[in-house]
Structure 1
Amino acid sequence: MSIIDTLNKDFESRVRLGIMSILLINDWVDFTEMKSLLNITDGNLASHSSALEKAAYIEIKKEFIGKKPKTSYRVTHLGRASFVSHLNSLEKLFKTK
């Protein structure tokens, strides 16, 4: 198996890389902050976060603060382990001659 085969296809998108990177160093991040940090549209964030949630890499919490809806994200244990493994594979790829 080559190093490139060890990369996780779920993290190939720059948006998913961004979401996972942000969640790796933060506990919970709300929708507005995530959207702002990544400079993406509502729909783009919603579709990529849904895909990551479906793969069990992130948890999405929806609640109401007063009458306003609030969506927040955090990485799961599986998501953290999978993303770190992906980053390690990228590092090995960069180090090959």
Structure 2
Amino acid sequence: MTPLPRFDPVIHAPGRLQICAILSGVDRAEFSLLRDRLGVSDSVLSKHLKLLEDSGYLALTKASQGGRQRTWANLTKQGKAAFKAHVAELNRMAAL
């Protein structure tokens, strides 16, 4: 079932929109990859990830690897649907 187009203010902020776009094409992405792709500080990325996680759009997984703590992010089923609906709404608005 295709979600109805819906503008989502949680996703719409440029950083969060970029995060969702990156994660929509992969199973998961490491924190450092997202930080580097967005060109933001750890704290800025953390705030974006926390808001997406609190909205139920994103899940974070933490594990120790190579002697250091690593964090991976992935879109939840709800997050994928919300992102798809948001992009559909942007496309609808652009076509007006």
TM-score, normalized by length of structure 1? Answer: 0.91
The letter of the residue matching 1:71 is: T
**Partner residue of 1:47?**
47
**Partner residue of 2:89?**
89
- Deviation readout 1:28-82 (Å, 9 max, x if unpaired): 1001111011111100000000000000101100110142000000010000001
Structure with larger RCO (C-alpha < 8 A, sep 6+): 2
**Partner residue of 1:19?**
19
Identical amino acids, percent of aligned pairs: 25
The letter of the residue matching 1:30 is: E
Q: Distance in 2 between matches of 1:66 and 1:36?
A: 20
Q: Distance in 1 between matches of 2:35 and 2:24?
A: 16
**Partner residue of 1:56?**
56
Q: Distance in 1 between matches of 2:30 and 2:20?
A: 13
Structure 2 segments unaligned to the other structure (5+ residues): 1-5
Secondary structure, in 3 states, of the residue corresponding to 1:63?
strand
Q: How well do the aligned residues superpose, as a CA RMSD in angstroms?
A: 0.8
**Partner residue of 1:3?**
none
Considering only CA atoms, is the larger Rg found in Structure 1 or Structure 2?
A: 1
Q: Distance in 2 between matches of 1:36 and 1:22?
A: 12
Secondary structure, in 3 states, of the residue corresponding to 2:56?
coil
Q: Distance in 2 between matches of 1:43 and 1:95?
A: 36
Would you say how many aligned residue pairs link Structure 1 and Structure 2?
A: 91
CA apart distance, 1:11: 1.2
**Partner residue of 1:76?**
76
